[in-house]
Amino acid sequence: MIILGISAYYHDSAAAIIKDGEVIIAIEEERLTRVKHDNTFPFKAIEHCLKIAEINIRDVDAVAYYEKPLLKFERLLDNFIKTYPISIVPFIKGIPEWLGYKLKIEQTIKKKLNFKKDIYYLPHHLSHAAAAFFPSSYNKSAILTVDGVGEYQTTALWFGSNNNIKLLKSIDFPHSLGLLYSTFTAFLGFKVNEDEYKLMGLSAYGKPIYVDRIKKIIDYKENGSFNLNLKYFSFRDSFKMWSLYFEKLFGHPRKEKDKITKRNKDLAASIQKATEEIYFKILNYLYKLTKSENLCLTGGVALNSLANGKIYKKTPFKNVFIFGAAGDSGSAIGAGLYIYYQLNKAIDPKPIKNLYFGNNYSNFETEIILKENNVNYKKYTDESKLFTKVANLLKNEKVVGWFQGNMEFGPRALGNRSILANPKKRWMKTRVNIIKRREQFRPFAGSILQEKVGEYFEVPSNHYSPSMTFCFQVKKEARDKIAAIVHIDNTCRIQTVSKDNGRYYKLIKEFYRQTGLACVLNTSFNLKGEPIVESPTQAINDFFKTKMDYLVINDYLIKK
């Protein structure tokens, strides 16, 4: 049975093909259109998926759409009435796109894709819950979905058992932990739905002295439920996130180009702390409801890796699974998996081991592209020699673009479309930030051999984090060894790399043999404001635009 999962029209549109319960291919629209967080209907992604899967739309048995558009529109109308007459301008501006195409999903799928069979519409948070639960290896698990907003829900507690997912409790719009965090993101001069991770990175530089003031704008209970004080927010009735009351409480907002002040850092630290406090209260309540030691997490807020790293200490959960594509793109997979397992109740869900769902370029294709671009290269026919060479380059503090195999799905580069560097010296952080044209306060993640993770980081035994969704404290004795990836609060976002990661594992293993370091600095292969590279051509372009030293595409080593 083949299911096509689709997410669209909010942010990070994506498509996924699920065949007999396995993800054959999945890709975000942005990787093909090169528009970051592209939210248009994913025609290109769908076409690409069908092509790679070598099927026709007629071979697809069902389409699973990741939310219920009419219910979402109802929320828009409901909100308009509640905020009338202030909201009239955003309402009038928003209506044409709803009437023009957002409500016409069925028409788009049937007419433009020429699809004649069943279309299913899942509630937004159910798609998230399915994306978290089915790929995990748990038979039973508590599930938390938490993001900005779906149709109505913003936070939901679930219990997953084999093929079933049951909703336990929820909190509805406009009360949203995601929108609260996004309000501070915008207030501090960053982009909503895009730069929340910058706010998280910035939080380490400040002191959480505004937490008491934050408690004035959100009332939360011991069981984690919360209610925003709406007079401080404007997102319901304008294009602005906060109101004048908010400015009275927290001062002037920062503009994008303004210098980051101590107050900005303290505000970032405060919202991070308040978010964590609520997050852990919710999780403790979820544990109380389900009594399960397994936890699956998803939704945009679940990408807060700083909070995720503290779950083991702050809650009774023993096993935590976070789907790497926890945002809306992952819901294309979640929706597809849910429909598959509902239509095939007798089949047990299969865990997903990695997120390498994208396209793969062969050596043959790579060589043609290199020749077309007049690029000098050296081909390594012996794989081990390539690893020895690249590990040696990293050892000698060269920055290497690393392009291998199938592209990652989701926001993180996991060693197939990555920029790699030696994490030993602190200045390497500055250098790579310059190469990527990023703000200097932003930290880098580390990829570490699974078997060595306990030597460097304060992680629970057998911790497994292949999708870079947790930050952990770096052990005191390891801080000088990997100074470039130790953030100011001594944490680091980590990716554990095992043999499942193929060539990436072998490269780090070789780097370890040469240097005694089992970890490399890993950042996504893209420039500021661009999506991660998808093809060798894009990789070559970015390589020559920056001060990266070397580029490796499959078996080919390229030097400037």
Partner 1 sequence: MKKIVRFLNDIFIIIVLFITYIFFIGVSWIVYKLQSFFSNKSNVNSYWLNNKEDFSIDELKSAY
Residues that bind partner 1 (CB under 8 A): 65, 68-71, 74, 80-82, 84-85, 105-106, 118-123, 126, 157, 165, 167, 169-172, 175, 221, 223, 225-227, 339, 342-343
410: left (phi over 0), alpha (psi -120 to 50) or beta: left
Q: Which is nearer to partner 1, 204 or 286 (CB)?
A: 286
Measured from the CB of residue 142, what is the shortest distance to partner 1 in angstroms? 15
Q: Which is nearer to partner 1, 41 or 190 (CB)?
A: 41
Q: Which is nearer to partner 1, 339 or 521 (CB)?
A: 339
Given CA atoms 112, 117, 123, 125 in this order, what sign does their dihedral have? negative
**What angle, rounded to 10 degrees, do the helices at 177-187 and 262-290 form?**
170
Residue owning tokens 């290109």: 44
CB atoms within 10 A of CB 382: 9
Measured from the CB of residue 305, what is the shortest distance to partner 1 in angstroms? 26
Measured from the CB of residue 326, what is the shortest distance to partner 1 in angstroms? 21
Rounded to whole angstroms, the Cα distance separating 71 from 97 reads: 16
CA–CA distances in Å: residue 314 to residues 132, 318, 349 = 21, 11, 29
Which amino acid belongs to residue 379? K
What does residue 31 show for φ and ψ, rounded to 5 degrees? -70, -25
Q: For the chain, how long is the longest CA-to-CA vector?
A: 69
Q: Which is nearer to partner 1, 92 or 368 (CB)?
A: 92
CB atoms within 10 A of CB 435: 20
Measured from the CB of residue 167, what is the shortest distance to partner 1 in angstroms? 6
Measured from the CB of residue 226, what is the shortest distance to partner 1 in angstroms? 6
What does residue 127 show for φ and ψ, rounded to 5 degrees? -60, -45
Measured from the CB of residue 278, what is the shortest distance to partner 1 in angstroms? 11
Nearest to 171 by CA among 152, 191, 195, 151: 152
Q: Which two tokens stand for residue 188?
A: 């501090």
For residue 170, the SS3 value is strand
Q: Which is nearer to partner 1, 64 or 448 (CB)?
A: 64
Q: Which is nearer to partner 1, 155 or 469 (CB)?
A: 155
H helix intervals, 379-473: 383-395, 427-436, 453-456
Nearest to 380 by CA among 419, 372, 391: 391
Q: Which is nearer to partner 1, 105 or 482 (CB)?
A: 105
* Residue burial 334-344, b: 16+ Cβ < 10 Å; e: rest: bbbbbbbbeee
* Contact by Cβ (8 Å): 15, 52: no
Q: Which is nearer to partner 1, 6 or 471 (CB)?
A: 6
Measured from the CB of residue 129, what is the shortest distance to partner 1 in angstroms? 10
Q: Which is nearer to partner 1, 67 or 196 (CB)?
A: 67
Q: Which is nearer to partner 1, 121 or 543 (CB)?
A: 121
Q: Which is nearer to partner 1, 226 or 511 (CB)?
A: 226
User: What DSSP state is assigned to residue 101?
Assistant: I
DSSP character string of 237-299: TSS-SB-HHHHHHH-SPPPTTSPPPHHHHHHHHHHHHHHHHHHHHHHHHHHHHH--SEEEEES
Element (H, E) at 126: helix 124-133
* Contact by Cβ (8 Å): 354, 501: yes
Interstrand relation of 153-161 and 140-146 (parallel, antiparallel or unpaired): antiparallel
Q: Which is nearer to partner 1, 169 or 431 (CB)?
A: 169
User: What DSSP state is assigned to residue 162?
Assistant: T
Q: Exposed, middle or buried, 98 (CB in 10 Å: 0-12/13-18/19+)?
A: middle
Rounded to whole angstroms, the Cα distance separating 260 from 265 reads: 7
Please name every residue paired with 505 in a beta bridge, in sequence order, or none if there are none.
none
For residue 341, the SS3 value is helix
Q: Which is nearer to partner 1, 158 or 403 (CB)?
A: 158
